[in-house]
Structure 1
Amino acid sequence: MNWRGSLRIVHYKSVVIILLLILAVGFALFRWWQGPLLPAYTIASTPLVQTVVATGRVTTVSRAQIGSEITGVVLERLVQEGDQVSPDDLLVVLKSDELLAQVREAEVALTELATSRRPQAEAELATAKAQLEQASREAARRRNLEVGVLSAEEIEQAVEAARVARNNFELASLKAAVLAPGQVEEAKLREQLVAAQAQLAKTKIRAEIAGMVLTRDVEPGDLVQPGRTLFSIALNGNTEIRVPLDERNLSQLALQQNAAVIADSYPDQSFPARINFIAPSIDPQRGTVDVRLTVDPVPDFLRQDMTVSVNIETARRDRALTIPNDALSSIKDNKAMVLLVRDGKIHHQQVTLGLRGLAMSQVVSGLSQGDHVLADTESSLKEGARVRLKLQKTVSNNQTDDTDSKNELPVNFD
């Protein structure tokens, strides 16, 4: 090949390189003119669930505090945390020597009444009766004698003896009546025995209800006194979740609303609950309203005072025009701002919101189906700036999929 052919090849290569450079610069300028590539969402009609999320604790409908009615030393503790108890189950045994002695003393007093005091009183009554009869006969005999046979003093002595005998008889009658079966003395002693037995029974602390022992604060050798809580027992029955919700959510709440609950200890095991109580007042210190939810059925892993996350469903739309929440800015009440993209240009657009979900919200006005909005609400681009869009996927379950789409949205240019 001569030098002229070589020159032509070099010339052609130079022309191709220049053309490629021109195309590259032109494409770069075109892209610069189009604006930066930004993530965006397409406004579409999807199902929407509005929820209120809060943290609560598991509780039983009621719990009992078990204590001692008397002061005593613990001899034996028979249950601990987690044990199931039934009514009349024995929980704690206290030292009972002194009270047992009081019971035996009362029993001995009753035995003494029946075998000694009562027969003695009956014998004294019989003796007093005989003495009264004898004294009465002697006084009558002396009064019937002729005057002069006995002196007035002797007659007076006989009458006085009869009076004394009658008084003794009446006293013996009263004593015998008091000590008679079923009368005052026996009733008093039986009451003393019952009281002593009742005090003795208090040395055995028993469960009054069926439930689970939550806490214990007693050990053998402890001195217990009235007013001290020894056990806390959760009564068998409905399990509730108590949630303090911000009072701003009160208008969205209603009885029988469904909720999904997740225990912090078992994040993969969600279970259902339902609102059964909304407090009629607001906590002025925290600005919250107490809400209770019934759990049925109760999961086996659920424990008293366990921390849970509650997701209460307050409203639902089968089809609603929705926008991801991260595309919203300057939210105030039901108004918000979005960065709307039309014809490749940014427009600041105010929208009116309806239902608010965890990741998506309903657009009532300000946008139409098929509109595109930037995901970056903090963008510093000015009104009318050109942008290219990289669409992000959204899912119908009100959760935003963060996986980037590789498709670039084609736009029209003026």
Structure 2
Amino acid sequence: MWRNKRLRIAALVLLAIILIIVIWRIRASVKEVAVIRPVRREVVELVVASGYLAAVRQSDVGTQISGVIAQVYVREGDAVYAGELLALLRREDLLAQMNQARLAVATARSQFAQAARPALPSDIARARAELAQARQVNTAHLEAARQRLAQLQRGGRPEERARAQAALEQARASRRQAELDVERQRLLFSRGAIPRADLDRAETALTQARSQERQAEENLALAIKPASVEEIAQARSDVRAAQAMLNTSVQIARDNLQTLLSQPRPEDVSVARARLSEAQASLKTAEDEAAKAKIYAPFAGIVVKRNADPGGSVLPGQLLFTVADMSRTEIVVETDESNLPKLSVGQPATIIAPAYQNRPFKAALVRIGPQVNFQRGVVQLRLRPVQLPSYARPDMTVDVNIEVARIPNALALPASAVLQPEENPYVFVVEDGRARRRNVRVRALSTDWAAVEGISPDSAVILQGTEVRPGQRVSIAEEK
């Protein structure tokens, strides 16, 4: 009997041990978890990317001619207005060419004005007077030549011989009187009664009287005897020359008068106009070349690059400045192609420059790239600032937060409670002491919260869903 009692005691102890082991194993298989109930709150989903600030309009400014830089008026970072002078090349030669072209235009314009206007009445009157004078003077010369020829051909007439004889006698008388005067003056001079100058004058008068006597003798001889053949031939030649002179001078005067009366002539005006146009074209070319020595800003903006210094030589097409128009800027970023379904033009964004983190500014998505970079799996986005801050500079690095979704009063869970939110999102809830998987739809996902559908507001959602398995026994250790 004692033996049976001992067996019963041993059986009870064994049973107790087995019961303890079973209870311990049951308790050991239950996972303690922290849970949370879905809450109502606003959830904002952002696409975060980094990029840079770019001017929509940026221009490289160079020179069209070669030369040497005389002055540079701006530095990198300076704000400039449209048409502001950035630099000046030496242009002494260009200015000289331009001044010469201006003088040529002034001359051509004066010639054109002269060719285009009619002759002045005073010019016409003077031309008529010159024609009459040419006719009168040269007609007289011709008549004298003809008379000379006629005289030589017929010899001296009686009245001409009589005049020549009388002239000779008078000349002889004058010569004899001059000889007497010289003898008397010499006598007085030898006595000292007169100065030497009086004697010199008397001797000069005698010389003149003798010359006149010889001329009178020659004239008388010419009047008495007929002229030689050579003299008559020369006289005829003189007549022809006088006739030619009359014709030529009268024709020149007549042509000059006719030119004045026909002004303005169309052909003269056309030639003068062509010369003026040519001179003006040359001036325009010279002015254009001189203007190329001045380097201007193409539009208002900021000088972001300067490759010019006084004294430096430049060649056509050489880059001197880069000007960026900061009134029209864009923010260029790249994002993973997986974000494409979330993105749409017009979405707002917050821009933060690392150098000015406490001064963010707003922007809007204006363009989604038309293609994906297949090597990197990214797509380019462009955003336009709502109002550009004063500190903005071209190519400045910025962080971009694009708001792709904003859901107010959403049923929300901590982001850590939602598993595979980008593909087939689900959560684990505690039901009947076990972890149960529940598929949900994520409406928006921020860094900390997820707006979900497909779950009741009173569900006990396991915060760390990755730590349990479907159907696993769990116990709620903490509810947040």
CA distance in 1, matches of 2:479, 2:26: 14
The 2-side partners of 1:102 and 1:358 are apart by 72
> What's the Cα RMSD here?
4.8
Instruction: In structure 2, give the amino acid aligned to 1:58.
Output: L
Q: Tell me how far 1:387 sits from its aligned partner.
A: 4.3
Match among 453, 462, 471 for residue 364 of structure 1: 453
Q: What's the counterpart of residue 75 of structure 1? A: 70
AA aligned opposite 1:268? N
Partner of 1:385: 472
Aligned AA (2:94): L
Unpaired stretches in structure 1, ≥5 consecutive residues: 1-24, 138-153, 391-407
Query: How far 1:388 moved relative to its partner?
Result: 5.0
Q: Which of 185, 188, 212 is matched with 2:302 structurally?
A: 212
Pick aligned residue for 1:199 from 289, 312, 320: 289
CA drift at 1:47: 1.7
Whole-angstrom distance in 1 between the partners of 2:89 and 2:292: 8
Mapped pair 1:86 → 2:177: no
Instruction: State the partner residue of 1:293.
Output: 384
Residue 60 of structure 2 aligns with an amino acid whose one-letter code is Q
Write the deviation string for residues 271-307 of structure 1: whole angstroms up to 9, x where unpaired.
Answer: 22233x23473345555253323322x2233222222
Q: Distance in 2 between matches of 1:318 and 1:87?
A: 47
Alpha-carbon distance in 1 for matches of 2:111, 2:274: 16
Q: Percent identity?
A: 27
Corresponding residue number in structure 2 for 1:310: 400
Cα 1:56–1:189, aligned 2, differ >3 Å: closer, same or farther? Answer: same
Is the Cα–Cα contact under 8 Å of residues 84 and 210 in structure 1 kept in the other structure?
yes
- The letter for the 1-side match of 2:356 is Y
Change (3 A) 1:348 1:186: same
Answer yes or no: is the 8 Å Cα contact 2:417–2:461 preserved in 1: no
Counterpart-to-counterpart distance in 2, 1:199 and 1:287: 49
Distance in structure 2 (CA, Å) of the matches to 1:116 and 1:337: 97
User: In 1, Cα distance between the equivalents of 2:277 and 2:271?
Assistant: 10
Q: CA deviation at 1:264?
A: 2.1
**Which residue, 409, 412, 428 being the options, matches 1:339?**
428
State the shift of 1:198 in Å: 1.9
Shift of 1:46: 2.1
- Aligned twin of 1:323: 413
Q: How many angstroms does 1:83 deviate by? A: 0.6
Q: Deviations over 1:328-380 (max 9, x none)?
A: 334453x2233333344333443332223333222211554342223252x3x
Paired residue type of 1:100? L
Which residue of structure 2 lines up, in the alignment, with residue 12 of structure 1? none
Q: CA deviation at 1:205?
A: 0.8
Q: In 2 relative to 1, CA 409–41 (structure 1 residues): closer, same or farther, beyond 3 Å?
A: closer
Q: Quick check: 2:444–2:450 contact (8 Å CA) kept in 1?
A: yes
1:196, distance to aligned residue in structure 2 (A): 0.8
Question: Does residue 52 in structure 1 map to residue 141 in structure 2?
Answer: no
TM-score by length of 2: 0.57
**Alignment partner of 1:353 out of 435, 439, 442:** 442
- Whose Rg is larger? 2
Say if 1:326 and 1:217 are closer, same or farther in 2 by CA, change over 3 A: farther
Contact 1:90 1:207 in 2 (8 A): yes
* 2-structure distance, mates of 1:60, 1:247: 25
Aligned residues, how many? 345
Contact 1:118 1:176 in 2 (8 A): no
Q: Aligned to 1:240, which of 308, 330, 337? A: 330
Distance in 2 (CA, whole Å) between partners of 1:409 and 1:247 is: 38
Aligned residue for 1:146? none
Alpha-carbon distance, 1:246 to partner: 4.2
The verdict on how the C-alpha distance between 1:38 and 1:219 changes in structure 2, with shifts beyond 3 A counting, is farther
Q: How many angstroms does 1:176 deviate by?
A: 5.5
Q: Distance in 2 between matches of 1:346 and 1:63?
A: 61
| Paired letter, 2:41 | T
Secondary structure of 1:104's match? Answer: helix
Distance (Å, rounded) in 2 between the aligned partners of 1:31 and 1:44: 33
Answer whether contact 1:245 1:291 (CA < 8 A) is retained: no
3-state DSSP class of the match of 1:235? strand
Report the residue type matching 1:385 in the other structure.
Answer: Q
Instruction: State the AA in 1 paired with 2:383.
Output: R
Q: C-alpha separation between the residues in 1 aligned to 2:84 and 2:71?
A: 14
Q: Deviations over 1:375-411 (max 9, x none)?
A: 252x3x5444344556xxxxxxxxxxxxxxxxx349x
**Structure 2, gaps ≥5 residues long:** 1-19, 118-122, 136-242
2:67/2:315 contact within 8 Å kept: yes
Tell me which of the two structures has the higher relative contact order, counting C-alpha pairs closer than 8 angstroms and 6 or more residues apart: 2
Evaluate the alpha carbon distance shift between residue 35 and residue 63 of structure 1 in structure 2; reply closer, same or farther with a 3 A threshold. Answer: same
Cα distance 1:118–1:283, how it changes in 2: closer, same or farther (>3 A)? same
Query: In the aligned structure 1, how far is the partner of 2:353 from the partner of 2:314?
Result: 37
Higher normalized helix content (fraction of residues): 2
